Structure 1
Amino acid sequence: MSKKIHEFNDIIRKLRKELLGKGPERIHSVFVENMAISTLYGNLTPTEKFIAKTPEGKEMVHAARTKLIQDVYDDHPPEGLEELVGAKLIHLFSDIKVEEDIAVSVFIFDKHIE
């Protein structure tokens, strides 16, 4: 894994731990043109896992996770993220499959990541 990808993953993990009380256990990221695509494993807290045992709870966890993450990145990207990749973050697409505790985030930047 390149140093830049490792640092990128650390920024993502740190932000999610600060926001949600738990960061992902494992992150796999790749840079493709102007995108960073990250697959995050082991995201949910024990409380979220308990809530997600019902269909309504699963929807609540899904909505909270995706909306919160997108809103935070819309307000301002995590410190050091844009400097690390040398590009401005334009948008983040994020989703989580609650049943399997796997999330995917696609970061779109204004130019190719170097």
Structure 2
Amino acid sequence: MSKVIHEFNDMIRKLRKELFGKGPERIHTVFVENMAVTTLYGNLTPTEIFISSTEEGRDMVHSARTKMIQDVYTVNPPDGMEKLVGAKLVHLFSDIKVEENIAISVFVFDKEIAGKFNVH
């Protein structure tokens, strides 16, 4: 994994830990064109796991997690993220599969980032 992807993942982990009290257990990110596609595993806190034992609880955890992440990134991307990739964050698409404790975030930047960092 490149140093940039490692630093990118650390920023995401730190922000989510600050927001929810627990960061993801594992993160995998790939850069594709002007996007960073991030899969996050093991996101939920013990309280969220308990709440999500019912359908209503799952819906509540899903809604809260998804909206909170999108709102935070809209107002203020993590410190240093744009500088790290050399582009401005313009959109974040995020979703979580509560039952499987897997989340996906797609960070869309204003210009190509993949060619700078992907090593084949």
TM-score range, shorter chain: over 0.9
**Alignment size in residue pairs:** 114
Question: What are the superposed Cα offsets for residues 42-89 of structure 1, whole Å, 9 maximum, x if unpaired?
Answer: 000000000000000000000000000000000010001000000000
Structure 1 residue 11, shift from structure 2 partner: 0.2
Provide TM-score, normalisation by structure 2. Answer: 0.94
1:21 partner amino acid = G
Q: 1 CA distance for matches of 2:80 and 2:24?
A: 19
**1:17 positional shift:** 0.2
Aligned to 1:5: 5
3-state SS in 2 of match to 1:31: strand
Partner of 1:15: 15
Distance 1:64 1:31 in 2: 27
State the percentage of identical aligned residues: 77
**1:1-114 matched pairs, under 5 angstroms:** 1-113=1-113, 114=116
Q: Which ranges of 4 or more aligned residues in structure 1 deviate by more than 6 Å?
A: none
